[in-house]
Structure 1
């Protein structure tokens, strides 16, 4: 499979290959998804002023892959079998996974799009538009395209439009791609400010405004979480990318995942995107091995590893 150590590496210690960054991006995202799925949208309860005859039972926290990992896997399969992926081809793989019952926890926009695609509607006419399409569904599955060097912004926009016909949703996905590419190129090495690299490259949107707001603060992940951690792309993507940017700024991967999940909200998507970006930065040796081992008994883990190993050749 692949090797990992439970320590962080500095950029000076090792030159991380693009193949290793891709593998770590996908594995980091899967860890965040599986871990975060056990805590998604569960409100924090303050029991300090409440008396119980017996302590309330804690909910069972079971790791599981959700649509964050599943749609990313579908995207990888589309890339592996079609070097240049069009929206039409990608849409076919989404429908394929849906028919095979490989998708769980789909958001409203993505579910609507896939059902319409299955009914024969053209990819450009499915899914939601308007403010209700400003979700995370496009951003959470876009990471593999960050490793495709000939992808234009218009290509990226069209790939997002399959499920989310909304400018904010597109810019959220663009921000994820830019963050991963900054790690690949070495313009972000963990010691400098990732947000200052991303902000000038984003169009004027609420997503960019939120990045600017975050960048003006000298804050922790928990502090930034107060701005919002739900499934609204303006809240989620800047928060997730900020969290990833802290991995070499005082937070290791384990601590980063914990901070994102403790913040609540859309924990699986937030932790998945943060894990993708941080993984692309630190490589496999920066991902705690016990977190990888915790995924081994999950449904679709073997399929995930098969796809990840095949993806090595995609960028080699």
Structure 2
């Protein structure tokens, strides 16, 4: 195999540190996929509604729950494939999204990403695809940006380009940048899980509505709960979802992955994306040892897992 044209951050460290970083890459993706799959059947639920007009023999049956990965994981894997192939090219990323779409490998696409795919199919240049303005303030770019954090060659222009092919909006970019910075902070241990993650991110973020929300959350007392913060908003609007997911990830040392994701999902809203982003950041901090066995085994039972595993392994191989 030819030497990779774009290396992991492990390129400047010794073999032992490299192994740890590659494990964190794997854990980042797996924990994100676990959050995505677990949260996918709870999206936009706001709690149990008491139905007093219908009588159920033996009690009202519980809603069937089934783990299933969605575009949160699928588009992240597409990003991995493009980064593993060489220096980042936003046009190639757009084409990778199209390829996944044509292969039926994308589930639950947001309007901005779907428009970008159709625009790309129509031959529109990547700088003009997707949505722009207030209708592009979704979290689609933030949910797939994490792999960039593992490459030293990543620049702010790369992040901006990766975002703008689907979401041409300042808050959408700020959300993607915040997730990228959080993963980097976990990798370089400037965030240990005990210091204030949100305060750490603020100096490097542009002045946006999303940054204002993060600043507000960074001032909350240490005993503020996930349920309390969800009251500010946890839907697909990036100003709500990304700060909420970052706040949740900041509780990983206190709660552990299983309890953290359980609490994220219990608040409703954009459960798959919120849990996926919180999972990605948590995985980058904890590494493979932080994944509960029962959650990993449940992920492995999904029919898409072999495909997911193949892309992760291919990306890991390209990182050496």
Match of 1:278 in 2: 282
Q: Please give the secondary structure, in 1, of the residue aligned with 2:276.
A: helix
Of the candidates 22, 34, 40, which is equivalent to residue 31 of structure 1? 34
1:268 aligns with 2:272: yes
Match of 2:232 in 1: 227
Q: Which moved more, 1:171-180 or 1:149-158?
A: 149-158
Q: Deviations over 1:267-308 (max 9, x none)?
A: 000000000000000000011011011022213110111111
2:227–2:267 contact (8 Å) kept in structure 1: yes
Q: 1:119, CA displacement in angstroms? A: 1.4
Match of 1:8 in 2: none
Supply the distance in 2 between the matched residues of 1:107 and 1:101 (Cα, whole angstroms): 15
Of the candidates 52, 55, 58, which is equivalent to residue 53 of structure 1? 55
Match of 1:80 in 2: 84
Match of 2:297 in 1: 293
TM-score computed with the length of structure 1 as normaliser: 0.92
Match of 1:130 in 2: 133
Q: Please give the secondary structure, in 1, of the residue aligned with 2:255.
A: coil
Q: Deviations over 1:69-124 (max 9, x none)?
A: 0001111111222x211111111111110111100100011101101111111111
Unaligned runs of 5+ residues in structure 2 are 1-15
Distance of aligned partners of 1:183 and 1:315 in 2 relative to their CA distance in 1, 3 Å threshold: farther
Supply the distance in 1 between the matched residues of 2:285 and 2:303 (Cα, whole angstroms): 27
Q: CA RMSD in A?
A: 1.5
Match of 1:149 in 2: 152
Q: 1:42, CA displacement in angstroms? A: 2.0
**Structure 2 counterparts to residues 139-218 of structure 1, below 5 A:** 139-218=142-221
1:23–1:311 contact (8 Å) kept in structure 2: no
Unaligned runs of 5+ residues in structure 1 are 1-13
1:146–1:177 contact (8 Å) kept in structure 2: yes
Q: 1:52, CA displacement in angstroms? A: 4.0
TM-score computed with the length of structure 2 as normaliser: 0.91
Supply the distance in 2 between the matched residues of 1:299 and 1:132 (Cα, whole angstroms): 34
Q: Deviations over 1:143-191 (max 9, x none)?
A: 1011111211122101100000001000000000000000111101111
Q: Tell which has more relative contact order, 1 or 2 (C-alpha 8 A, sep 6+).
A: 1
2:214–2:243 contact (8 Å) kept in structure 1: yes
Supply the distance in 2 between the matched residues of 1:101 and 1:166 (Cα, whole angstroms): 28
Match of 1:246 in 2: 251
Q: Deviations over 1:34-68 (max 9, x none)?
A: 00001111231342x83642233322110001000
Q: Which moved more, 1:301-310 or 1:125-134?
A: 301-310
